[in-house]
Amino acid sequence: MISSPTTAPTTTGRVLHWAARYDLLVWLLTHGRHRAFRKRLVNLARLVAGESTLDVGCGTGSLAIAAKRQVGAGGSVFGIDASPAMIARATAKAARAGVEVSFKTAVAEALPFPDAQFDVVLSTLMLHHLPRKVRQQCAREIRRVLKPHGRVLVVDFAHAQAKSGLLAHFHRHGHVDPREIIALLDEAGFRCIESGPVGISSLQFVLAERQSDR
Ligand SMILES: C[S@@+](CC[C@H](N)C(=O)[O-])C[C@H]1O[C@@H](n2cnc3c(N)ncnc32)[C@H](O)[C@@H]1O
């Protein structure tokens, strides 16, 4: 496993520095079914053995670990997040699980990877953390690091959260209309393959394919 630098790159995105509490929030969001949630996301991305995968805004690494289990020894998984605390927790989690994932502190708007490295990019519950301009930079960066016809899976909350409830007590999340996600990806050079509800809270997914150069 590649360990991460400890300094956070500059970003205007909303970076989360409370990694342990984050896992508790996901547990609450999924009513304890967090592993099934990650498996569902891996399936929505149509990940298969051997694929090279990047998780952008990977948080505490649970999805990247599930992705590595899916792509197997012949595949590879990288995860980046702007929060050193998230990357430290993700790295420790993968080591405990005995799963080889490379985590790195980096920002979504300047991905530290060469062009056309990945078959698949995942970005879940992250877009609402970015201002509009940074979202556009991020979408262009995702396109850059994807191989021709590579896929991106974007998942985010479609609606504002209810003001009451246990989850809202700990954290108030933002949201992005799925039509905005489709338009953002379209503008960056993707074609939407499939979209719809994830089945948890107001989460919606968009799976899109990188178009050939225009
Ligand atoms: C709600 S968490 C989602 C984590 C994970 N993807 C998941 O599905 O659980 C959003 C993450 O985006 C990260 N983030 C915010 N701005 C970022 C940026 N510009 N580049 C990379 N990560 C960023 C935060 O630090 C946080 O870990």
Query: Could you give the C-alpha distances from 103 to 16, 29, 76, 130, in angstroms and in order?
Result: 16, 24, 12, 20
Q: Tell me the C-alpha distance between 199 and 205, whole Å.
A: 10
- What is the CA(12)–ligand 1 centre distance, in A? 12
Q: Residues in the chain, how many?
A: 214
Query: What confidence score (pLDDT) does residue 212 get?
Result: 85
The answer to whether the beta carbons of residues 42 and 205 sit under 8 Å apart is no
For residue 83, give both structure tokens.
């929060």
How much is the pLDDT for 174? 83
Q: Please tell me the residue having the least CA distance from ligand 1 atom 15.
A: 15
- The pLDDT of residue 162: 61
19-210: CATH, from 3.40.50.2000, 3.40.50.150, 3.40.640.10, 3.30.2320.80 = 3.40.50.150
203 neighbors 177 (Cβ within 8 angstroms): no
Q: Which of 81, 86, 93, 156 to mutate to test the pocket of ligand 1 (most atoms within 8 A of CB)?
A: 81
- Interval between CA 77 and ligand 1 midpoint (Å): 17
Q: Which residues of the chain have pLDDT under 70?
A: 1-8, 161-172, 214
What 3-state class would DSSP assign to 143?
A: helix
CA distance 120 to 43: 12
Kindly report the pTM of this predicted structure.
0.93
Task: Tell me which residues have their CB closer than 6 angstroms to ligand 1.
Answer: 11, 13-16, 26, 57-59, 63, 81-83, 86, 107-109, 124-126, 129-130
Distance 78 CA to ligand 1 centre (A): 14
Q: How far apart are CA 69 and CA 61, in angstroms?
A: 13
pLDDT tens-digit map of 121-159: 999 999 999 999 999 999 999 999 999 999 999 999 998
pLDDT at 7: 66
